[in-house]
Amino acid sequence: MKPQRVRVQYEAAAANPNTIVGCRVCRVPEGSTERYTRWINSLDPEQLLTQVFTSHGPTVVMPTWFCSRDWFEEVGVFDEGGKGVPEDLLFFYQSLRRGGHVIRLDDCLLVYRYHEHAATHSVLEETIWSLRVDFLQERVLSRWESFSIWSAGKQGRRLYRSLSPGNQRKVKAFCDVDEKKIQKGFYTYEGSKDRPKPRIPVLHFTRASPPFIVCVKLDLTGGVLEANLRSLQLKEGVDYLHFS
Q: Pick from 33, 13, 16, 219: which is nearest to 109 by CA?
A: 13
Res 163: pLDDT: 98
Per-residue pLDDT at 189 exceeds 90: yes
Q: How many percent of the chain have pLDDT more than 90?
A: 90
Neighbour count for residue 238 (Cβ, 10 Å): 10
- Residue at 91 is within a domain: yes
CA distance 117 to 58: 20
Strands annotated E in 4-99:
19-28
Residues 151, 238, single domain; the answer is yes
CA distance 155 to 232: 22
Residues 11, 74, single domain; the answer is yes
CA distance 202 to 64: 41
Peptide bond into 201 cis (omega under 30): no
Residues 113, 155, single domain; the answer is no
Strands annotated E in 154-198:
171-176, 186-188
- Residue at 94 is within a domain: yes
Res 175: pLDDT: 98
Number of separate helices (H) and strands (E) present in the chain: 10, 8
Tens of pLDDT, residues 36-89? 999 999 999 999 999 999 999 999 999 999 999 999 999 998 888 777 889 999
Residue 82 belongs to domain spanning: 5-123
Residues 116, 154, single domain; the answer is no
Residues 13, 58, single domain; the answer is yes
- Residue at 235 is within a domain: yes
Which H helix or E strand runs over 192?
none
Residues 159, 201, single domain; the answer is yes
- Residue at 128 is within a domain: no
Per-chain mean pLDDT for the chain: 95
- Residue at 133 is within a domain: no
Per-residue pLDDT at 148 exceeds 70: yes
Strands annotated E in the chain:
19-28, 101-113, 147-150, 171-176, 186-188, 199-204, 212-214, 240-242
Residues 119, 194, single domain; the answer is no
- Residue at 218 is within a domain: yes
CATH of the domain at 183: 3.40.50
Is 186 in contact with 199 (CB distance < 8 Å)? yes
Q: How many percent of the chain have pLDDT more than 70?
A: 98
Look at 40-54, 120-134, 160-174 and tell me which has the smallest mean pLDDT. Answer: 120-134
Res 79: pLDDT: 87
Rounded (to 5) percent helix, strand, coil in the chain: 40, 20, 40
Residues 12, 74, single domain; the answer is yes
- Residue at 226 is within a domain: yes
Residues 108, 51, single domain; the answer is yes
Tally of domains within the chain: 2
Tell me the mean pLDDT in the region 26-41.
94
CA distance 242 to 235: 12
Res 84: pLDDT: 81
Per-residue pLDDT at 23 exceeds 90: yes
